Copies of this chain bind each other. A is one copy, B any other.
Amino acid sequence: MTERKPRKDAVRNRAAVLEAADTLFARCAGPADITMADIAAAAGVGKGTLFRAFGDRTGLIRALHETRLAPLRDAVAQGPPPLGPGTPPLRRVPALLDAVLCFKLDNRHLALALEEAGSGSPYEAGHYDRWHALLRDELERVPGLTDGSFAAHALLAATRADLVEHLAGRQGMTREDLRARLAEFTARVLGDGRRS
């Protein structure tokens, strides 16, 4: 009903813009360095096209992000353990967080751009609620944790793009190093087997 098939040039241009934006964001220091006009030029289209296709800057970045995120979402929704459903919480939670961290490491520029694009926080616009709900549900099944919701917020906060950027970028921390430290921290929150 509300479906109208788009014209060919429209989809081609859309793809070109996405492509150009991705490489531009990847190449530059900060997301603020590249303007809409830059993207349009790099994609070989006019600004109008760009805004018609994505609405506004945030829309573009969201679309880009969404594209990259799809595989991970699928893996979480219906993939095999330890990411997929059916895995016991004590094993799934660390896996989820590690996956999120890796995603942000692999897409630093994107995640950064997204957080800085949403008017203010990443908490309103986006996928955040989905991740939080997922984590919360798992955490609530962990014995001893009285508030899964807050723990979920806190753990996700530990994987925020700008923190990752700070540690991995500025501070030269290794990918594996970061993963290990997050894993250790997570284990501690989960109440690792330690007694006394």
The residues of A with any CB-CB pair to B shorter than 8 Å are 30, 32, 112, 116, 119-124, 144-147, 150-151, 153-154, 157-158, 160, 162-163, 165-167, 170, 181-182, 184-185, 188-189, 191, 193-196
Query: Is A123 within 8 A of B166, CB to CB?
Result: yes
Copies of the protein in its oligomer: 2
Q: Which among A165, A182, A196 has the greatest number of chain B C-beta atoms within 10 A?
A: A196
Give bound CA distance, A188 to B122, whole Å: 26
Give bound CA distance, A153 to B146, whole Å: 23
Partner of A195, one of B146, B185, B196: B196
Query: Is A163 within 8 A of B120, CB to CB?
Result: no
Partner of A119, one of B30, B121, B158: B30
Give bound CA distance, A144 to B188, whole Å: 10
Give bound CA distance, A119 to B194, whole Å: 42
Give bound CA distance, A181 to B124, whole Å: 22
List of B residues within 8 angstroms of A196 by Cβ: 193, 195
Give bound CA distance, A193 to B116, whole Å: 40
Q: Which among A151, A157, A181 has the greatest number of chain B C-beta atoms within 10 A?
A: A157
